[in-house]
Chains A and B, each alone.
Chain A
């Protein structure tokens, strides 16, 4: 079964956001999940694969083991997505704010609130909700005629929404925009990764996903570098 990147990013978005049980079970059903992993494996290897239709030659890369990109424990975790109850339990302890083990996947918390001192007395401070990245995502979502879901309306730069936006742009055939958005909106994942690392074993599934996204990002950056050189 093939999975295109729009669907892939929509599924990844679900991993970090609030979804109902039936939705989660559909996403993590064997066929769907195997297809997702297969496509991820592809994106991790091919600089020019982002948003591209799977070409016959690329299928050869399906056999490359994920261990080349992830630790073996991460691979194990990636192949065993949490049940809905496990996902809920993880979210109740880590995707809530104000606890020592909080690990909310919201970009605002990892970047400067704004770098324009005229726009806020708290310019350049980190660790605040509703940073410029949130305002940017809010505006972008509105400009594209999309609506924020109520459950995440307060966090427009939640990782789920950022990944979902990549998905929407890919679906709309705007591959270059999707690529730019992904590159711009994934830089913070390096800092977020450290939060997940601190949580240990129980966060391995999410850590694996973040490492995959960082791997995809590295490929895109390499691709950008090639384009620059050829230009």
Chain B
């Protein structure tokens, strides 16, 4: 065979020719190569990035060797969420970059319902053709986008949809903290606040567990609080992991936190134990609430919550004695982020109870983090498309829901009637986690166009017609992330690794190319590097500078404690009453609203919740993390030990769990760490996607047991409004 022949046939282009291969002494066997590597002491490059294992996006530095791998990740001490520490998820999740389950090519579902790889050209042109056809026939508002907010994702998804003329950009909020944020907004005009845990005299947590849904800095605060002698009370149906730091675990029946708050308010108002000056000067509607809570005695609440009346009274008085360095912690998802029919109203009542304490803005009370942000971009090439005049679909139907998050489940439910015809997902496993998976999958499959962008196959990707392969978070630069805190910062997700799969694309390129294909590319005439640098230039920084440092603090903008006296409401006051709530069908000030379903004989409420090593379904396919699950049997449901004994169920038994929508089998952990009317099912398991080889078929999925329904007014997914029965398999 001639050299020409072999070059023609060979994948390996012999730049120096076969003769050179013959002459070189370059061949080294694998063992010898391995031995060389073991002794190689190459330079390591430091690259700053942001974790992607949960929504906190902690800053870290990766040390990358000459072989392109990194051997070390170190949490950034200046990042407000990280505080110098990464959690187990942060380390384990990094393996996704190299995972066998990565999507490597654009995919299209064929006539048999199976995915096939197609070229980017084909994917982009077909998606654009369908998108434009939908716009031509039904207008841009018949297109929706659902995304789990990340720095670049938030920027590019909104810009893309607005360029098409659609206002319909949704986050994962319905299944996270939407009801909490929306309820708080009705009371204080802000979607969130921060309990000053470490400096308080007393803190009460309602369901939230810093040691389970970890943000490292929060956990450090809890550790410091314990060291400082803060009185820490954790109210939760389950003795969660944070109870290690607590003085008291108060078991409560799920969905009844509102009754506890109302009764504690009753106690304080009845005895005149509230900050009367603050209420007189900076609030409206107090009399309405004071009148309303008269009926909510501790005895009344004891029946509903399962907490003894004397405990309720004691806790209320202890909070008052600790005030103003005391508050009910703000919560996130757990008890009232999206869980029950009364979640929004629970959040509203929580803010009003804290108002009684006069804690707003006080050191040790409840503060509002200092913030920083980029300025407006003036270069015409960054000009944004006009904001659509229409409101997001679902805003009219759920009038007190957060428009910034949007009721994505409602928008999806309008697909069968033809109101929504095209749906895009970016890094959102909506189908598995936002409500009943079977129902959501049916909605998505009914769309004329469905596109998912992700790094691995998910239940949502499975339901779509097209799947576009994203790079992993370690392989891309994103727009700078501004993070609030006691000292606000800007931080950067930079490229730690070279792109592993050549046919994957980062989010900025995907949406730029989609926009070009759809004919709206004029809004995307810049690179991510140019955009990031331009944003930073508005505050006197540069991309190079942020790349060098990873996180830059703004000490001049640091939080200053002080009583908060003006609010972001129409009249700048705290609202004990809300006209918007009245218009949405709620009382002017929050009163008792029962959960949608109440357990009868032999029934339990199914509660979910995070474990420290997982983030919902996102990390279940990560082998190092799933190994921990399996080592400790973490996929098991929890059942109260007394109840289990009465049912003849023992620790480790195989049990069958049934609701109106689903039946499944798993093992049980029998424990006194859960109150008797609840079953706890960790919300990470039950993956139904065989492509996720590690996660597939491990444990049960909480949302399978939950019917498709939406919290009136606030739009939450009511993730814990379901009843289950449990029986021992084979009994």
- Which residues of A line the B interface, CB within 8 A? 4, 6-7, 10-11, 13-14, 17, 23, 27, 89, 91-93, 95-102, 104, 109, 113, 115-116, 118-122, 125, 127-130, 132-133, 135-136, 139-141, 143-154, 160-161, 164-165, 167-169, 171-174, 177, 180-181, 184-185
- A13 contact set on B, CB distance < 8 A: 10-11
B34 to chain A, nearest CB (A): 7
Chain B 458-480: CB-based contact to A (< 8 A → 1; otherwise 0): 00000000000100000000000
Q: Is the CB of A149 within 8 A of B5?
A: no
Rounded to whole angstroms, the CA-CA distance of A177 and B10 in the bound complex is 18
**Interface positions of B from 102 to 133, Cβ below 8 Å from A:** 102-105, 107, 114-118
Set of chain B residues within 8 Å of A141, measured between Cβ atoms: 12
CA distance A98 to B98 in the complex (A): 12
In the complex, are the beta carbons of A130 and B69 less than 8 A apart? yes
B458 to chain A, nearest CB (A): 10
How many whole Å from A64's CB to the nearest CB in chain B? 25
Contacts of A160 in B (CB 8 A): 11
Contact for B456 among A98, A147, A173, CB less than 8 A: A98
Judge whether B21 and A17 touch: CB under 8 Å. no
In the assembled complex, the CB of B457 is this many whole angstroms from the nearest CB of chain A, namely: 5
Known: A92-B118, A154-B502, A169-B21. Contact between A100 and B691, CB under 8 A?
A: yes
Contacts of B136 in A (CB 8 A): none
Q: How far is the CB of A33 from chain B (nearest CB, A)?
A: 14
The answer on a CB contact under 8 Å between B21 and A172 is yes
Asked if A99 contacts B12 (CB within 8 A), the reply is: no
Q: Please tell me if B101 contacts chain A, counting CB pairs below 8 Å.
A: yes
How far apart are A218's CB and chain B's nearest CB, in angstroms?
20
| Contact status of A97 and B103, CB under 8 A, knowing A118-B71, A132-B34, A144-B21 | yes
- Contact indicator A96/B95 (Cβ below 8 Å): no
A125: nearest chain-B partner, CB-CB: B623
* Alpha-carbon distance between A150 and B10 when the two chains are bound, in angstroms: 13
A13 to B620, CA, bound (A): 36
Q: Which chain A residue has the least Cβ–Cβ distance from B469?
A: A98
Known A7-B6, A147-B13; further 9 A-B contacts with Cβ < 8 A: A14-B9, A98-B456, A98-B457, A98-B691, A129-B500, A144-B26, A149-B12, A167-B9, A172-B19
Distance in Å: Cβ of B101 to nearest Cβ of chain A: 5
| Pair B105/A127 contact, Cβ less than 8 Å | no
Cross-chain contact B37 with A128 (CB below 8 angstroms): no
Partner of A6, one of B6, B69, B99, B457: B6
Which residues of chain A have C-beta atoms less than 8 A from B11's C-beta? 13, 17, 149, 152, 160-161, 164
**B690 in contact with A145 (CB, 8 Å):** no
A149 to B118, CA, bound (A): 20
Q: Taking A6-B6, A116-B38, A136-B30 as contacts, is the C-beta distance between A128 and B95 under 8 angstroms?
A: yes
Tell whether B20 is near chain A: CB-to-CB under 8 Å.
Answer: yes
Q: Report the minimal beta-carbon distance from A162 to chain B, rounded to whole angstroms.
A: 10
B27–A168 contact, CB under 8 A?
no
| A128–B98 CB distance below 8 A | yes
Q: Are B13 and A146 in contact (CB under 8 A)?
A: yes
Contact: A97 with B100, CB < 8 Å? yes
CB pair B105–A96 under 8 Å, yes or no, is: yes
In the bound assembly, the distance between CA atoms of A158 and B118 in angstroms comes to: 20
Min CB distance B42 to A, Å, is 11
* Residue in B closest to A89 when the chains form the complex, CB atoms: B116
Asked if A98 contacts B101 (CB within 8 A), the reply is: yes
At the interface, yes or no: B16 with Cβ under 8 Å from chain A? yes
Whole-angstrom distance between the Cβ of A217 and the nearest chain B Cβ: 15
B361 to chain A, nearest CB (A): 43
Complex Cα distance, B23 from A177, in Å, reads: 13
* A3 CA / B399 CA spacing, docked (Å): 76
Contacts of B19 in A (CB 8 A): 172
Of the A-B pairs whose beta carbons lie under 8 Å apart in the complex, a sample of 18, sorted by A's number, is A6-B1, A92-B116, A96-B104, A97-B102, A97-B103, A97-B501, A119-B65, A121-B71, A125-B95, A127-B101, A130-B500, A141-B12, A143-B24, A145-B20, A146-B12, A147-B15, A153-B502, A177-B27
Q: Is the pair B104, A97 in contact by a Cβ cutoff of 8 Å? A: yes
Q: Does the CB pair B16–A149 fall under 8 Å?
A: no
Task: Give the distance to chain A from B674, nearest Cβ to Cβ, in Å.
Answer: 34
User: Distance (Å) between the CB of A93 and the closest chain B CB?
Assistant: 5
Q: Size of chain B's interface in residues, with CB distance under 8 A?
A: 61
**Smallest distance from the beta carbon of B447 to chain A beta carbons, Å?**
22
Assembled-state Cα–Cα distance A146/B24 (Å): 11
Q: Which residues of A lie under 8 Å from residue B30 when comparing CB positions?
A: 133, 136, 184-185
Residues of chain B lying within 8 A (CB to CB) of residue A135? 37, 67-68
B13: A residues at CB distance < 8 A = 146-147, 149
Are B117 and A92 touching (Cβ within 8 A)?
yes
Interface residue from A95, A139, A146, A184 paired with B15 (Cβ < 8 Å): A146
B286 within 8 Å of A by Cβ? no
How near does chain A come to B451, taking the closest CB pair, in angstroms? 16
Interface membership of B380, Cβ < 8 A: no
* Pairwise interchain contact B502-A145, C-beta atoms closer than 8 A: no
State in angstroms the CA–CA spacing of A127 and B107 once bound together: 21
Minimum CB–CB distance from A18 to chain B (whole Å) comes to 9
B21 lies within 8 A of A146 (CB) = yes
Name B572-612 residues within 8 Å CB distance of A: none
Known: A119-B69, A147-B12. A125 touches B624 (CB 8 A): yes
Q: In the bound complex, do residue A171 and residue B12 qualify as a contact, i.e. CB atoms below 8 Å apart?
A: no
Interface 1/0 per residue, B497-509 and A, CB below 8 Å: 0011110000000
Q: Contacts A97-B102, A118-B71; is A184 near B29 (CB within 8 Å)?
A: yes
Instruction: Collect the chain A residues with CB atoms within 8 Å of residue B693's CB.
Output: 127
List B contacts of A169 (CB < 8 A): 21, 27
The docked-state distance in angstroms from the alpha carbon of A209 to that of B690 is: 27
B112 to chain A, nearest CB (A): 10
Residues of B close to A7: CB separation below 8 A: 1, 5-6, 9
Residue B18 interfacial (CB < 8 Å): yes
- Across the two chains, which residue of chain A brings its CB closest to B22? A172
Chain B residue nearest to A17 (CB atoms) is B11
Does B18 contact A171, Cβ atoms closer than 8 Å?
Answer: yes
Least distance between B309 CB and chain A CB atoms (Å) = 52
Q: A132-B37, A154-B500, A172-B21 are in contact. Are A96 and B117 (CB under 8 A)?
A: yes
Q: How far is the CB of A73 from chain B (nearest CB, A)?
A: 23
B629–chain A nearest beta-carbon distance, Å: 16
For the complex, give the distance between the alpha carbons of A92 and B122 in Å.
13
A203 → B minimal CB distance (Å): 15
In the complex, are the beta carbons of B690 and A130 less than 8 A apart? no
Least Cβ distance of A128 to chain B in Å?
4
Query: Which residues of chain A have C-beta atoms less than 8 A from B624's C-beta?
Result: 122, 125
Q: A4 — nearest CB in chain B belongs to which residue?
A: B1
Q: Is the CB of B98 within 8 A of A129?
A: yes
Judged by a CB distance under 8 angstroms, whether B91 is at the interface is: yes
Let me know if B631 is at the binding interface, CB within 8 A: no
Of B10, B13, B91, which is in contact with the most chain A CB atoms at under 10 Å from its CB? B10
Residues on the B chain within 8 Å of A97, using CB: 100-105, 501
Encoded as 1 (CB less than 8 Å from any A CB) or 0, chain B from 48 to 79 comes to 00000000000000000101110100000000
The reply on B14 being an interface residue by CB < 8 A is yes
Contact pick for A98, options B67, B91, B103, CB 8 Å: B103
In the bound assembly, the distance between CA atoms of A14 and B12 in angstroms comes to: 11
Contact A172 B18, beta carbon cutoff 8 Å? yes
Contact B28 A140 (CB under 8 A): yes
Known contacts being A97-B104, A136-B33, A154-B502, is A145 close to B117, with CB within 8 Å?
Answer: no
Which residues of chain A have C-beta atoms less than 8 A from B29's C-beta?
Answer: 180-181, 184
How close is A140's CB to chain B, nearest CB, in angstroms?
7
Q: Which B residue sits closest to A6, measured CB to CB?
A: B1
- Which of A23, A92, A140 has the most chain B CB atoms inside 10 A of its CB? A92
